[in-house]
A and B are shown apart, each in its own frame.
Chain A
Amino acid sequence: MICPRCAHDTVDTVTTSPVPGVWDVLQCVRCLYMWRTTEPDRRTRREAYPVEFRMTQADIDAAPEVPVVPPLRVG
């Protein structure tokens, strides 16, 4: 299992369905993308994941802070 959005290979199981065995909710530890295993392929499979929503480590590193962390007030 890799992240559909950033292709990272470490994925956590966040929760499982209250009815056993129906679905899991998974999360990429790198880009934090979260998905349910029963969602359509366009949200769950790397090869079907839309190009415009894909993310890379460089994207994460370059992401701007919103809002910007202000300087610490001294004294």
Chain B
Amino acid sequence: MSNEQDINQRLLQQSSTFNSQVIDDIQSKAELGRYRMRGYGTLRQRTWATFDDLTFIPSTLTRIPLEGYRERCKTKTILGSRYAKKPIELEIPIMITGMSWGALSFNAKVALAKGAAKVGSSNTTGDGGMLPAERENSKVLIYEVLPSRYGINVHDLLSADGIELTIGQGAKPGTGGLLLGSKVRESIAGQRDLPIGVDQRSPARHPDFLGPDDMRIKIEELREATDWKVPIFVKMGASRVFDDVRLAAKAGADVIVVDGMEGGTAASPEIMQEHTGTPTLAAVCEARAALEDIGLYGDVQLIIAGGIRNGVDAAKAIALGADAIYIGTTALIGLNCNKPIYTEDYHKLGTEPYHCHHCHTGGCPVGITTQDPELMKRLDIAEGAERISNLLLAMTYEIQMLARACGKANIHNLDPDDMRALSLEASMICGVPLVGTNKVFSDGPGWKSKIGK
């Protein structure tokens, strides 16, 4: 009966409840005795409203476009103008998000730093402290202060151009970081003051504050430590975004980073990546509404992160209210993540190029999320840096192209009325009219300036 010809195609029907992925999940857990862990972020079919549910409506007769290859379209981005004596000035609005040395290889961290510096952008340290080579190769470096405080060092903090107080991340809000023992090698263990080879589970809460009232004092501590020179960011995973952003702004943040549900990670329980958080599109809308609600929109800058793939996603986020964009997974893909090279090593991990989410194993075939010196050699720092600078520029050109087409001489002048919704849900979430109706369905996120009304 095992003959292929004997299979009755009409009876080959898979349960939609217990489909092959569900069966695999159940059987994996029956084998492991714990929840599943992996990297990369959500793999689910995106059935919720995303940036793809919006379209730009460029100039025709009601607006005048700018010449695509002639007229200037500014991209300079200022962050931290609320309280910092030295706000961060970037040439472009695309920044590299915090990813730890530990999760990433040394070569990846330095390539990201060099690539971002070349085009006047920034990079961010991560859960594990600052690498000297990262500081040396960065133009603008943001220092993360995380719940774990691994590698915390006042001298590194004082050398940074901005401080990011991290409350959580979009891939797994409400939980701490993970670094499995295969990646906790001697150098990483030394940097983090951990025993070699432990499955490192970072705390989910900061050790010295709990709620927003305490955080206000914590932010003041960071300002006092840095003589009020550099901006203080507060980064959060997108959960109750409207309330959380208002609390962070009132606690004194210069810049708020909201990391949406599509955000990536090097290791996390799979259920956190798949079933927690607010999608990035909704997050940016709620975040802007929150700042408007307390009269701080424009005074407190907003950085949006979480599954931003290209300049189009970035432009839409900027039009909805973001001042700048963080990329993480996209930057790693730019460094060759999931590229069909070294295919045999993907197979060793039980996967294929384009399907790999095995960052947690430490066996990254392209040398990015590994601490194996031989694998790391596959990522040449100079080549990687070039790819990152190219990617950042290409994304910026995409944003400029859309902005010029919409008649904007500054990408930060993009606004929600430059777009229309392609789905009812996007119209409801973003407060922009549904195509073909010129109507906004529901009140959107509660913006003060209603669009299309």
State yes or no: do A and B come from one complex: no
